[in-house]
Amino acid sequence: MYLPPHDPHVDDPMRFKPLFRVHLMERKSATVECMYGHRGPHNGHIQIVKKDEFSTKCNQTDHHRMSGGRQEEFRTWLREEWGRTLEDIFHEHMQELILMKFIYTSQYDNCLTYRRIYLPPSHPDDLIRPGLFKGTYGSHGLEIVMLSFHGKRARGTKITGDPNIPAGQQTVEIDLMHRIQLPDVESLRSFNELSRIVLEVREQVRQEQQQQEDGAEDGEGRAPQSPREPQRGPAQPSVELPAEKGGGPADGEAAAAAAPAPEQPAQSGQGQPFVLPVGVSSRNEDYPRTCRMCFYGTGLIAGHGFTSPERTPGVFILFDEDRFGFIWLELKSFSLYSRVRATFRNAEAPSPQAFEEMLKNIQSLTS
């Protein structure tokens, strides 16, 4: 199991935890040991379900129990998962979410089903190299998101989820055809000014979509001046939220950045001064103070149990090749993402079509 670093240190490396091991014997036989718990390896079982899918089962779940009962198990899990004790967490809502996650994950006792995930294919025109990123999600802690590019859009798909937005859903979608030109740093400190700019772009996007629909109905095929159709596959906008309406950062962060001149490529490295608007919460104050450019985007938010999901406007901020951020306008919060640098072997998709099919499959598991 690859675990994210302790919240909110997104730049720290991933943590590695063995869950099971297989001993190959003679005549193609093998023994399986479950590594979960704190009492050493014990008897387990692995079943091949179908292509690119297998299940593990622990045959001695009593090895997962602790002498101090569930309370000791919870405190041990809290130290490992969050790097802190319950007394360190003063926010009641955060305590509630953490307890919910413990109850949810511990009920499986390492009896799990695994499905293959492909890393996203790259293209020379991509804004940055696609891949896996660690992101701050408020009281939910750090979660893993896969950034992939689809023509004129980019998607952030959740690989790990939370009680609001489950794994497989698109936490953010970026409209690469709509750059956002933000004001100078002093003006940027005003959240109202940021909100005004973003909502103006949202209205522009709405009008262009209406023009496309009207043109299709007229049979004239007249498209808006700014082409927005993906070149390499369909895009499905999605986003995400925190606490009451969860999915995004519960106490996330917000940010905005002045966009470079249109003729400047994203890879130009031209830094723009960057600061979080007043009133926008951030899990980590150690965010970059310069950025390259930003785009209009949407983020998925929902209530507990993925109830009443909705897409809300936001701003995608490109800091550098390995870090980006997203401002959740409705939540007045900011998520910071940092690239996962772990190396995964044999993880490349055999074709772009296979990658797109995988995205559809993991999303359908929780839709």
What is the predicted pLDDT for the residue at 88?
Answer: 74
By the 8 A CB rule, do 238 and 298 touch?
yes
The 10 Å Cβ neighbour count of residue 269 is 11
Question: Which domains are seen in the chain, by residue range?
Answer: 2-114 (no CATH), 120-205+269-365 (2.40.128)
The number of residues making up the chain comes to: 367
Please state whether beta strands 245-246 and 256-257 pair in parallel, antiparallel, or not at all (unpaired).
Answer: unpaired
What is the predicted pLDDT for the residue at 249?
Answer: 66
Strand order, beta sheet including 112-115 = 20-24, 30-34, 42-50, 53-58, 112-115
What is the predicted pLDDT for the residue at 255?
Answer: 34
Q: Which of 162, 299, 191 is nearest to 240 (CA)?
A: 299
What is the predicted pLDDT for the residue at 220?
Answer: 56
Please state whether beta strands 281-282 and 333-339 pair in parallel, antiparallel, or not at all (unpaired).
Answer: parallel
What is the predicted pLDDT for the residue at 259?
Answer: 36
Three-class secondary structure of residue 194 per DSSP: helix
The verdict on pTM exceeding 0.75 is yes
Residue numbers in the chain where pLDDT is lower than 70: 90, 219-270, 367
